[in-house]
Amino acid sequence: MKDWYRICFLLIIGIYFSCNENHNGNQIAFSKNEIQIDGNPSDVSWQKVEWRQMNHKWLGPDIPKEDFQGKFKLLWDEDHLYVLAEIVDDTLIDINEDGLEFYWNDDCFEVFVDEDASGGEHTFNYNAFAYHLSLDNKVVDIGRDSIPHYYDHVKYVRKTEGNTSIWELSIDIYDDEYDMTPSYPKMKLSEHKEMGIAIAYCDNDHSEEREHFFGSMHIDGEDKNRTWKDASLFEKFVLAK
């Protein structure tokens, strides 16, 4: 009987440390200093955060590193979620003049946010947001009316030098009851809050449709282009101090 209790105890300890290890690996650090959204990654807070890779191919054939490489960092404070990304892309394309049509076929940076990490379907609702950040400073997602809209939830600056672009952004966070009215209150963030997040990039090199889609996490199955409608695929992160 003592051996049985000992085995149970060891199993519980193993599960505890396993969960904590995964939990710690997906923490988002708190920024004690104000972050200037200027496309300059020299803020003190950014220097303390490790890069995360965007090396999972969700769509398209294999390509050389000269064509695409991506990495990102995350931070938070009470008012915003912050994202810093470095994208290597040898050709920047913006072929759709109307920013609300076929915006995913242009080069664009994407941030998916599930405020309460609840997962589930979010195609035509605000259970989660799928922000598409264009090269011409527009932010698009689909609303409850099944129509794409511009949103001012995300403030960002992109600075490009050669083949490398720095994207720096702050995101206002809203719950899933968001209704698009200007007076709808944004959320205050706090320590221990769990959020679902995915980061991605659409790559086009002169085609009518995007040629590649890269993301921040592995997705099972042949159809990996599902984050725009299924928040259950997002990674879960915890806000930490």
Where exactly are the structural domains of the chain? 2-239
Max alpha carbon distance in the chain (Å)?
A: 73
Per-residue pLDDT at 18 exceeds 80: no
Segment 129-172, tens digit of pLDDT: 999 999 999 999 999 999 999 999 999 999 999 999 999 999 99
Segment 71-127, tens digit of pLDDT: 999 999 999 999 999 999 999 989 888 899 999 999 999 999 999 999 999 999 999
Fold exhibited by the domain 2-239: Immunoglobulin-like (2.60.40)
Give the Cβ contact number of residue 222 at 10 Å. Answer: 5
Query: Which pair of structure tokens corresponds to residue 22?
Result: 């995964």
Residue 160: C-alpha distances to residues 16, 34, 171 (Å): 44, 23, 21
Average pLDDT over residues 50-72: 94
CA distance 136 to 61: 27
CA dihedral 104, 105, 107, 113 (to 10 degrees): 10
Per-residue pLDDT at 1 exceeds 70: no
Reported as type and span, the H/E element at residue 25 is: helix 2-25
